[in-house]
Amino acid sequence: MNITEAQAEKVLKAAISKAKAIKVPMNIAIMDEGANLKLFYRMDGALLGSADIAIKKAKTSRLFEMNSEKLGELSQPGESLFNVEHSNGGLISFAGGLVLKNKNDTIIGSIGVSGGTVAKDFEVANAGSQALLNNKYNL
Amino acid sequence: MNITEAQAEKVLKAAISKAKAIKVPMNIAIMDEGANLKLFYRMDGALLGSADIAIKKAKTSRLFEMNSEKLGELSQPGESLFNVEHSNGGLISFAGGLVLKNKNDTIIGSIGVSGGTVAKDFEVANAGSQALLNNKYNL
Amino acid sequence: MNITEAQAEKVLKAAISKAKAIKVPMNIAIMDEGANLKLFYRMDGALLGSADIAIKKAKTSRLFEMNSEKLGELSQPGESLFNVEHSNGGLISFAGGLVLKNKNDTIIGSIGVSGGTVAKDFEVANAGSQALLNNKYNL
Amino acid sequence: MNITEAQAEKVLKAAISKAKAIKVPMNIAIMDEGANLKLFYRMDGALLGSADIAIKKAKTSRLFEMNSEKLGELSQPGESLFNVEHSNGGLISFAGGLVLKNKNDTIIGSIGVSGGTVAKDFEVANAGSQALLNNKYNL
């Protein structure tokens, strides 16, 4: 099971819609089941430096099958995964990265969003991921 | 003058339309005036290894303000730019990378396409770049 | 709007002048609007290891459109952007990086300075950035 | 013996003067005796992609103590150093890189120029290197 064009576009549209609603231009990255980039979109006015962060958030979530900020809890000084961000060519371990699942609860990819506060990044990423679950037809 | 969301989407749509017409799933990368990624799209079934090639073709065209294959002519063994591909974190110097210009002939970004033969990659990239010139309203 | 030779030289001269006044040999990097290197200068006696830091400070400021140390406040352990320095090929998040704006308050590039204490690095970077605002003719 | 600020500025001025005379905007990189960047200058209108090439030409000349194109002769298919460009983080082995010597014939650094044809790149680099030899006072 791997994310399709149609699914990735659905995720992207929901994320952009949320970003516009909260008025924060975002970088949005969508990866497939193999942690390879499927779709990337930099909204007009989004921070240049957030493009790489969006991609790394998506990578982090897919590689570890968790919200990116969950890894961040484990990578604080003194915690078990301190500085895990050095692995895999660089990870980003704060909020804004989520796995993408289909209605059968199977991971088919991931999304990473960056451009605002981490709370807003999460909000937009979450809107994207929810889009795959709320549609009538399971793409 | 920098490429906008609306322009990048127009380029992408024209490229995807051509790719579907010639029945070759492609990776399509669009960069802005500063050679930063603006939009990336991997069509279903497109070769995984061509994603990085599409991105590097777009980079090559923007950085040297020419079709990617023009650089390739100059980088053959014995030619003046032999092995220039080692610069700038890796270049791709065969066809499929083009600058994107607006109607005032100003470079606003670039497109790189990879997934088929270089002739087909070029055809799809060209369809994308033409989209900015042929529309009634100069975005 | 992108930084010109003339603007970059004006920034450099003001920075060097300040560095000499406070007697600290500095590395000074100036980037353009697209976060590409425009000018780099290593003063005699400046620390070798500070050259890369100066370049990364300039990159950090341009990519995130803020003073480099502002990012550093957010990247402390437990803070929202912990370990953001792993993105974008490496960032530097302590003082000495500033965006460069013209008199219309438009970002046209950035400056990064390294070689002394962070307070002195900031002082020299600030002298550079102010040079674009204080001249009679808006370059 | 290492290149000084004053020497690097002298080299840069001569190179810029030649670039303006032949009307080709250039990227100019100057390295020190230890192959570390001392000075970098991107003239207005110079190709973005040539910045890295200028730096790598300077590095190539300093590391191998020869004109960059001499290494290129040895790195052709079938020759003894085929693909040596993969070493040292990437080399550039066509013309435009020269060592910088003082009047005692001691290597004190190197210069790399890129932006035009290799013949013009060489011409500008050569103007820079000659500047250290032709002045009345041996800086």
> What is the reported pLDDT for D134?
77
3-state secondary structure at position D22: coil
Per-residue pLDDT of chain B (139 residues; tens, 9 = 90+): 799 999 999 999 999 999 999 999 999 999 999 999 999 999 999 999 999 999 999 999 999 999 999 999 999 999 999 999 999 999 999 999 999 999 999 999 999 999 999 999 999 999 999 999 875 544 4
How close does chain B come to C93, measured CA to CA in Å? 22
- Determine the Cα angle at A113 with ends A73 and B27, to 5°: 125
- At D135, the pLDDT band (50, 70, 90 cuts) reads low
In chain B, how many domains are there?
1
Q: Which residue has the tokens 């003073």?
A: C67
| Range(s) of the domain holding residue A23 | 5-134
Domain assignment present for D127? yes
Burial D66-99 (b: 16+ CB within 10 A, else e): bbbbbbbeebbeeeebeebbeeeebbbbbbbbbb
Overall average pLDDT of the D3-20 stretch: 98
> What is the reported pLDDT for D136?
54
**Which amino acid is located at D66 in the chain?**
M
* Cα–Cα dist B112/B92, whole Å: 10
Contact between D39 and C41 using a beta-carbon 8 Å cutoff: yes
Q: Could you tell me the CA-to-CA distances from C139 to C4, C17, C28, D43 in Å, in that order?
A: 8, 19, 20, 16
Pick from C66, C70, C79, C84 the residue to mutate for testing the A interface (most A CBs within 10 Å). Answer: C84
Calculate the average pLDDT of chain A.
Answer: 95
How close does chain C come to A24, measured CA to CA in Å? 14
Phi, psi of A7 (to 5 degrees): -65, -45
Q: Could you tell me the CA-to-CA distances from A17 to A13, A20, B37 in Å, in that order?
A: 6, 5, 21
The dihedral through the CA atoms of C88, D56, D24, C5 has a sign that is: positive
ipTM reported for the complex surpasses 0.85: yes
Domain assignment present for C139? no
What CATH number should be reported for the domain holding residue C110?
Answer: 3.30.450.150
Overall average pLDDT of the C35-52 stretch: 97
Instruction: Give the dihedral of Cα atoms A94, A96, A97, A100; nearest 10 deg.
Output: 150
> What is the reported pLDDT for B135?
59
**Which amino acid is located at B109 in the chain?**
G
Q: Could you tell me the CA-to-CA distances from B118 to B50, B92, C87, D128 in Å, in that order?
A: 11, 12, 33, 41
Domain assignment present for D114? yes
Taking contacts as CB-CB distances below 8 angstroms, the residues of chain C near B37 are none
> What is the reported pLDDT for B61?
98
Domain assignment present for D139? no
* Cα–Cα dist B107/B58, whole Å: 13
> What is the reported pLDDT for C135?
59
Contact between A75 and C63 using a beta-carbon 8 Å cutoff: no
Q: What percentage of chain A exceeds 90 in pLDDT?
A: 94
* Cα–Cα dist B98/C60, whole Å: 29
Contact between B63 and D47 using a beta-carbon 8 Å cutoff: yes
Which tens digit of pLDDT belongs to each residue from D35-46?
A: 999 999 999 999
In residues, how long is chain B?
Answer: 139
Domain assignment present for B139? no
Calculate the average pLDDT of chain C.
Answer: 94
Domain assignment present for A16? yes
Task: For the sheet with D97-101, list strands across it.
Answer: C97-101, C107-114, C27-32, C37-42, D37-42, D27-32, D107-114, D97-101
Domain assignment present for D112? yes
User: Helix-strand-coil percent breakdown of chain A, rounded to 5?
Assistant: 40, 20, 40
Q: Which residues contact A138 (CB under 8 A, 6 or more apart)?
A: A102, A103
Domain assignment present for D51? yes
Q: Which residue has the tokens 């929202």?
A: C80
Residue of chain C whose alpha carbon sits nearest to that of B63: C36
Show which residues on chain B lie within 8 Å of chain A, measured between beta carbons: 4-5, 32, 34, 36-44, 48, 51
